[in-house]
Homo-oligomer: A and B are copies of this chain.
Amino acid sequence: MKDVTKENLEGIGCDEEQEKTNSRPLQTDWSSLNTMGLPGVVDASYRDPPSDQKLRLRSNCPLVETSNSIWNFQENEWRLTFVDGEETSLLYSKHEKIALQDFDGEVRPAIDVEQFLDQDCVLLLDEDVAVSQNYSSPAELVDLLLGRMGLSATVAEEAKTILFTNDSVPTLRRTIQAIYSSKDKSKGEFEYDESWVCTVADVPSLMKRHTAIIRLKQPTNMGDTCHDVQLFVLILCPVKEKSTKNGLETGRTFATLLADANIRRQLLEVTTDKEFKRLMLNRTQELIDEQRQSRAAVPIKLDSDVQSKTKSVETKKNIWKFGQFGQGIREDLCRRLPHYISDYVDGVVGQKTPQKVLSTTFFLYFACLLPAIAFGVLNDHNTHGKIGVKKVIMGQTIGGLFFAIFGGQPLLILLTTAPLALYIKVISSICDDFQLDFFAMYGCVGLWCAFFLLIFSLFNVSRLMHWCTRSTEEIFGLFISVAFCVDACRDTAKNFQKNFYSSQCQGENAITNITNSLSSSLTFYSWNDTRANDSAEAIADPNEEPMGVECNQASSVLFLLLMLGTVWLGVSIFNFKKTPFLSAGKREILADYALPIAVVTMSFVGSFFFREVKAEPFRYDDSENVFTVTPLERLPGLAIAGAMGLGFALSLLILMDQNISSAMVNTPLNNLKKGPAYHWDLFVMAILTAALSAVGLPWMHALVPHSPLHARALADVEERVHQGHVYQIIVRVRETRLTVLFSHILIGLSIMLLPYPLAYIPPAVLNGLFLYVAVTGLGGNQMFERISLFFTEQSAYPPNHYIRRVPQRKIHQFTGCQLAQLMLMCLFGFVPWPYMKMIFPVILLSLLPIRHLIVPRVVEDRFLKALDSSEH
């Protein structure tokens, strides 16, 4: 209607008596209509409202076609004004339903209310004699409250510009109101609770939070959806505030309090601020109690971590009943066998599945082959060539294929590991000390181990994992990452020791100094003598030891360069999906191939660009026998008994590592559908260990972080943004056996690539791969997240479940406990005495009682539930 101003109409003879110069009231006199939610109660008069009549009336008039609006460009935006000075602007409105505050579960709401009560910010206008004025607009109320808060003029002014949409449009920018909706949701009927409104603002220059409530004398019309406001809540927050303390969260707390009509009625009745505050406090306590009772009545998921993890029907009471012989295996088979066909089919069908399977196959190929080579080199050194690279690769192939076909949880990745290499080393040195046959002793230990594993699996010892919570898994995960880093550092140090600080280098340096001083004096008479010697002879001079400890500083520096280069390149490509470059699809493919690309690129750099630097390829004996049947008969009886001890320790290690890896794969966050198979997997491991031991191949067990990374590589991940923080949620994991199968076939074929081109992969790149795995394996590790919170500023704390539910001090205390446990593990894990390292499985096992007996004395049980929940 803005186009037809009075002047215009007069000018063309269309004057309308009933139109006032101020056209605004026209709209209000027929706005007495239902809100949209009530189609049933439609006012009959509204189908022909006055303005509609006018519109039709006007359209019959010969109107001037020229526009009487004026565009003008001010302050970097267009303004559209009319001849009468009115301005049109656009208002963009957004309505979100927000959840009611969780007073019982979260820690902030109660504190928020208490802090509010400490402030003197309740205004009962009907009681306050000093304020006799009638307040009818939010602007007036806000002015009044800002005055009471004692803010400086500039801050108050800033708060006002933020509270209201615009100078010319003084609506409240952000409000929270209650909505009533009928239980029959299909009707979609709803209604605003117009009796109160809460408005929030985040103000940059504010220093602390302010909350104020005003009670009006009588219901006041404050604009749309606020037609009879009696309670007005104003919340101002600093911008740099913890996200659980920001405007919206605080608003949610007070809105939840006021959402109940009972409390509102009582609040309207009280006569003094004190009563008002007391009521608020009581209501808060009531709410906590009500919610707690409600939560207790219904089985809430919070308590069900353990159950949901194993998806078994056992209750906590009977988990100590290990006795039901073979029951675990039976249950596992019942669970997994029906999925056996789909374990293959799922690797073929589905959107993006072939692509993911391919990239995961290559990931696994490099992630398994390279450690196999690395540990092969290590074992070769420890056993004086008895177990070499070739054997390790063969063992990897056999073990991987065997487990891929018969294993219960095909997402697990088996590898030989550093602790296993340690056992092999200990056995080797025992054999040296007591003049025993290495393979006989090795086989004997392995068979004992297999025997114990069999016992464990048949007597359902894996039920111990009921006590293994997320916290233990995370400590273990972090320990493994640390261990990989320590391994890489140790290898680097070893290389530097050998090539950089070799006696030859020291000597050369010293000698060069002498040379410099001597050469001038010596040259003149020694020149001809030395010249006379054959040059080949001079070089073959034994002092130079060309084949022994050579001074090859370049090799060490290159080692460092390649190692750091590999991890940097890998991690950069892995994180490339966070950039806006290329398309989403291409970024994902690139990230999937991060490891292979990094390894191949840096191997090329190392072996081609720096081919001049003398690098040492790994020791490889082509004549080596791959299978060595264990000559058990050569072992004396005492050795067999000793082997039993070693075998038991070894079986404990495999039990723990296998089960923790399995638990980390089966975490509810991975959203797996086919269920775990702890007992059956252990049974398969027993058979595999026996077989490997019998032919002298290295042992293996499921590994962290390879197994969780495998699950992640096969996953479809969705990013969800919540309050500015990005969360990754695994939607679906392709639970297939094909990736392990394919990659291990490739690994088996790789034996033909020995020694070249596999030897072109420099050892530095192997170590870079360890670091890469250590870094990427930390993704989703909440313990690591919480450690980084120590250094993070408060306002950047993510508003996740534990930040909401647990006081900050308790969070840090819990992280501290975990760090202490990690330290304990590191102490026993990296101690330089091999025999002390062997009790490591026991330490690992002791984490369970520590978590359940000691930690609860520091952090209360209800907080532990939030911190140590595997649901988030």
Contacts of A584 in B (CB 8 A): 240, 793
Give A676 Cβ to nearest chain B Cβ, in Å.
Answer: 24
Please measure, in the bound complex, the distance between the C-alpha atom of A546 and the C-alpha atom of B222, giving whole angstroms: 91
Please measure, in the bound complex, the distance between the C-alpha atom of A67 and the C-alpha atom of B55, giving whole angstroms: 51
Contact B71 A294 (CB under 8 A): yes
Q: Does A856 contact B (CB under 8 A)?
A: no
Contact A188 B170 (CB under 8 A): yes
Q: Does A73 contact B (CB under 8 A)?
A: yes
Pick from A59, A256, A286, A539 the residue with the most CB of B within 10 Å.
Answer: A539
Q: Which of B294, B527, B793 contacts A73 (CB 8 A)?
A: B294
Contact B3 A165 (CB under 8 A): no
Contacts of A78 in B (CB 8 A): 99-102, 256, 291
Q: Which residue of B lies closest to A295 (CB)?
A: B73
Q: Per-position contact with B for A510-541: 1 when CB-CB < 8 Å, else 0?
A: 01101110110011001101110111111111
Pick from A97, A225, A553 the residue with the most CB of B within 10 Å.
Answer: A97
20 contacts between A and B (CB under 8 A): A31-B227, A36-B222, A42-B221, A48-B218, A78-B100, A81-B183, A85-B182, A86-B181, A87-B182, A90-B100, A90-B178, A91-B192, A94-B173, A96-B165, A169-B181, A170-B188, A518-B536, A526-B540, A553-B554, A554-B554
Contacts of A833 in B (CB 8 A): none
Q: Does A708 contact B (CB under 8 A)?
A: no
Contact B556 A260 (CB under 8 A): no
Contact A300 B97 (CB under 8 A): no
Contact B540 A541 (CB under 8 A): no
Contact A793 B581 (CB under 8 A): yes
Contacts of A33 in B (CB 8 A): 221, 227
Q: Per-position contact with B for A234-269: 1 when CB-CB < 8 Å, else 0?
A: 000000100000001001100110011110010011
Give A591 Cβ to nearest chain B Cβ, in Å.
Answer: 15
Contact A557 B137 (CB under 8 A): no
Contacts of A614 in B (CB 8 A): 512
Q: Per-position contact with B for A617-629: 1 when CB-CB < 8 Å, else 0?
A: 0000000000000
Q: Per-position contact with B for A541-568: 1 when CB-CB < 8 Å, else 0?
A: 1110011000011101110110010001
Q: What 16 new A-B contacts, CB under 8 Å, besides A90-B177, A529-B533, A538-B543?
A: A28-B34, A28-B35, A36-B223, A71-B290, A88-B178, A90-B176, A90-B178, A90-B179, A92-B97, A92-B175, A94-B94, A170-B190, A171-B190, A530-B533, A557-B558, A581-B791
Given contacts A93-B93, A95-B93, A188-B139, contact A218 B542 (CB under 8 A): no
Q: Is the interface of A mostly helix, strand, loop or mixed?
A: mixed
Given contacts A3-B265, A295-B73, A530-B541, contact A24 B92 (CB under 8 A): no
Please measure, in the bound complex, the distance between the C-alpha atom of A34 and the C-alpha atom of B540, giving whole angstroms: 106
Contacts of A259 in B (CB 8 A): 80, 88, 90
Please measure, in the bound complex, the distance between the C-alpha atom of A557 and the C-alpha atom of B499, giving whole angstroms: 14
Given contacts A52-B219, A171-B95, contact A137 B36 (CB under 8 A): yes
Contact A91 B176 (CB under 8 A): yes
Copies in the complex: 2
Please measure, in the bound complex, the distance between the C-alpha atom of A167 and the C-alpha atom of B34, giving whole angstroms: 20
Given contacts A261-B2, A540-B522, contact A31 B28 (CB under 8 A): no
Please measure, in the bound complex, the distance between the C-alpha atom of A527 and the C-alpha atom of B225, giving whole angstroms: 104
Contact B165 A181 (CB under 8 A): no
Q: Which residue of B lies closest to A788 (CB)?
A: B581
Q: Does A592 contact B (CB under 8 A)?
A: no
The B-contacting residues of A in range 22-57, CB under 8 angstroms, are: 24-25, 27-28, 30-39, 41-42, 46-49, 51-52, 55
Given contacts A535-B543, A791-B582, contact A90 B98 (CB under 8 A): yes
Contacts of A580 in B (CB 8 A): 792-793, 796
Q: Per-position contact with B for A480-518: 1 when CB-CB < 8 Å, else 0?
A: 000000000000000000001100010001011011101
